[in-house]
Every structure is written in structure tokens, then in C-alpha cells.
Amino acid sequence: MLYSVKESCNRYHILITEEDDIQVSKGKAIAVVGSLNMDLVISMQRMPKIGETIQGDAIHYISGGKGANQAVGCAKLGAEVTMIGAIGNDAFGSEIMQRMKLFGVKTEAIATLEGVPTGTATIMHTENDNCIVIVPGANGECSPEETIAPYAEIIRNADALIVQLEIPMPAVEAALRIAHEAGVPTILNPAPALPLTDEQIALADYFTPNETEFEMYCGGTIDVDSEEQLFERMTAWNARFPGQKLIVTRGKHGISYADSGSIATFAAPVVQVVDTTGAGDSFNAALCFGVANGWPLDKTLPLAVRAASYSVTVFGAQDGMPTMDKLL
């Protein structure tokens, strides 16, 4: 294996030092169920105070949404991706649709809704901070009956399904159940973190929270600087959801993975950071691509970590998603 490995009992710290010998099988079918947003990114020197008007430096209109980002990420790696979701019949919706087609994502399962605006995320960005206001719009109208049921066969015939939590949970759960019953591998990226039942969580073969989200689902605080405490919580999670693969994303620290009592940490390469938006989506897209191709996790996870690290070197979530030649 092309890593430097330090072993201690059943825990492994793995630093990616060389590229993996991965055989890429293009054309695997991936279904993505989730949100499509237009991100309005406003750059400014500082945040305004309450009631204050200040001058901004720039505004960028960027196609986004966790679902759309992950769909683009999978498509750029070479998968045949179908996006399932909804937009409004407006200029933002048209722009998003064009961008999805540009990246090769199949759009026939994206509904265009009349009288409902496309979802937006207004991001006020300074050098050291940001604030985000999300208006769900068409994303909030996604339902099991109207959004998921008409495209159940797409999910059943997929090599993997990935979902997030930016559309109503009944639609997410319906997609997971269809895939679960058909034996399609399922990835649940629980972002943003919302209350989930154990039954809903168990529908996912792969559960991919970040540290903050994982802390919420564990029901208590975790000292993120204490790997021992994190690993204890991950081991307890494995006992609670046997057979599920838990992957906690940890920003610049890479990811930690737990399965069957063993825990491995894959360190992230050191890169020049330009824009962290979409790093988690890039990781989840590459993970989904590897799962769809049937790769073992000891090859998929290093690739996914590299994808996330590459994405932060480029401005814009979707533009930052790497193609496979950037990773191999």
C-alpha cells in the first residue's frame, strides 16, 4: 500500500504520500437527490453592524447547493450523474440548469416549479468570517410524491445514491428507502445537521458528518483536539449502527473512518487555500464515485481527501471540483 502508516493497537494514522494505482471505470450511474441554489457571494472588508449600511467590494453569482455541487463533482470525475431536485421558473433556475448541463449532469429529473423562486444562499464574506442566509425556495417544495416517486427507477438502477439535508427530510428518506430496498449503496451527508431518527440514519451505508455535525448526533460535546475522545465516540457509533461505515470529515486534519472496531485517519495534504466552499461536497462526491465503482475504502478515501484538498485551491465550489486527471 502506498502510504506511510503508524499503527497503534487497532487505530491507524495514514499519511497519503503517493498516488494510488486506481483503475477508473467511467460511466457508473450515480443518483444525487438534493438542493440546487444560486449563491450570492458578497465580499466586504467587515460585517455591517445592526442598522448600518456599508459598501461591499464585489458580488458573485455562483451556482451551488450541496446536491448540485456533489452532482457536478461526481460528473467531473467521470460518472453518469442524474440530479433529482427542483428549481424555480426564473433566471437563477435557468442559469443553474445550464451549468448542470455544461458539466455533463443529466437534468431530466430536475423539476421547474411555477410560482416558486429558485433557492438562494446569500453569503456575506470577509477575509476572516462569513454569514449565510438561505432561502429554500423550490428546494423546500421537494416531496416524496412529486420529486422522488416519478424517478424511483433512476435510483433503483444507480450504482450509488448520495443525499444531503437541504431539502425536506420526507423526500430524503423516500430516496434512501428506495435505494436501500433495491440494494443500491447509500451515502448520507447530514448537512446541515438536522434531527434524525435511528431508523433514518440506519438507511445509510455511509454516514459522513463533519466534526460539528457528528457532535450533535452523538448528543454531547466532543473535544475536537482530542482524537482519543473522537475515536471513543466513533467506536460507540459503530456499535449503535453495526455495518454502517462512519466517516468524519475534519477540515485540514483530513478524515477519520471507523468500521468494525478499527479507526483510520487519512491526513490532508498541505495546500494553498483560496476558497473552502465546497470542500466537503468535493470529498463526498469522490467518495460516492469510488463507492459506485466498487473500490475498497483504502483506495477511495485517500482519493476523496485529495479531491477535497484540491477543491480549496480554486474559487467557487463547482469550478473547484477536480477531474480525475488532477488526482491520479
130 assigned to some structural domain: no
107 assigned to some structural domain: yes
Digit-coded pLDDT (tens) for 70-112? 999 999 999 999 999 999 999 999 999 999 999 999 999 999 9
Whole-number pLDDT of residue 310: 78
The CATH number that applies at residue 196 is: 3.40.1190.20
Digit-coded pLDDT (tens) for 299-324? 899 999 998 887 777 877 788 888 89
Whole-number pLDDT of residue 222: 65
247 assigned to some structural domain: yes
CA 277 distance to own-chain centroid? 11
37 assigned to some structural domain: no
Domain count for the chain, please give it.
Answer: 1
State the average pLDDT for the chain. 87
Q: Please give the residue range of the domain that contains residue 317.
A: 61-113+138-326
Give the pLDDT band of residue 25 (cuts 50, 70, 90): low
The answer on whether 37 is annotated among ligand-binding residues is yes
Whole-number pLDDT of residue 226: 67
For residue 247, the tally of other CB atoms under 10 A from its CB is 27
Which is catalytic among the residues 281, 298, 319, 325?
Answer: 281
With vertex at residue 164, the alpha carbon angle to CA 213 and CA 147, rounded to the nearest 5 degrees, is 150
Q: Is the peptide bond before 192 cis (omega within 30 degrees of 0)?
A: yes
The percent of residues above 90 in pLDDT, for the chain, comes to 62
The answer on whether 249 is annotated among ligand-binding residues is yes
Give the pLDDT band of residue 19 (cuts 50, 70, 90): very low
What are the angstrom distances between the C-alpha of 262 and each of 184, 187, 219, 246, 258?
A: 25, 20, 22, 11, 6
Q: Which of 82, 201, 65, 74 is nearest to 139 (CA)?
A: 65
52 assigned to some structural domain: no
Whole-number pLDDT of residue 123: 85
254 assigned to some structural domain: yes
With vertex at residue 162, the alpha carbon angle to CA 39 and CA 132, rounded to the nearest 5 degrees, is 25
Q: What is the mean pLDDT of residues 54-79?
A: 95
The answer on whether 13 is annotated among ligand-binding residues is no
The answer on whether 219 is annotated among ligand-binding residues is no
Whole-number pLDDT of residue 168: 98
Give the residue carrying C-alpha cell 485517500.
302
The answer on whether 157 is annotated among ligand-binding residues is no
How far apart are alpha carbons 280 and 70 in whole angstroms?
9
Whole-number pLDDT of residue 308: 86
CA 190 distance to own-chain centroid? 9
The percent of residues above 70 in pLDDT, for the chain, comes to 89
Whole-number pLDDT of residue 119: 98
42 assigned to some structural domain: no
Digit-coded pLDDT (tens) for 179-238? 999 999 999 999 999 999 999 999 999 999 998 899 999 887 666 566 778 888 899 999
pLDDT at 275 over 80: no
For residue 111, the tally of other CB atoms under 10 A from its CB is 17
pLDDT at 9 over 60: no
pTM recorded for the entire structure: 0.87
Digit-coded pLDDT (tens) for 254-265? 889 987 667 888
Choose the weakest-confidence range: 1-5, 17-21, 26-30. 1-5
What are the angstrom distances between the C-alpha of 85 and each of 163, 257, 286, 294?
A: 11, 29, 20, 26
Residue scoring higher pLDDT (325 or 101): 101
Residue 129 designated active-site: no
CB burial string 77-95: b at 16+ within 10 A, e below: bbbbbbbbbbbbebebbeb
The answer on whether 238 is annotated among ligand-binding residues is no
The answer on whether 10 is annotated among ligand-binding residues is no
196 assigned to some structural domain: yes
The answer on whether 76 is annotated among ligand-binding residues is no
Give the pLDDT band of residue 33 (cuts 50, 70, 90): very high
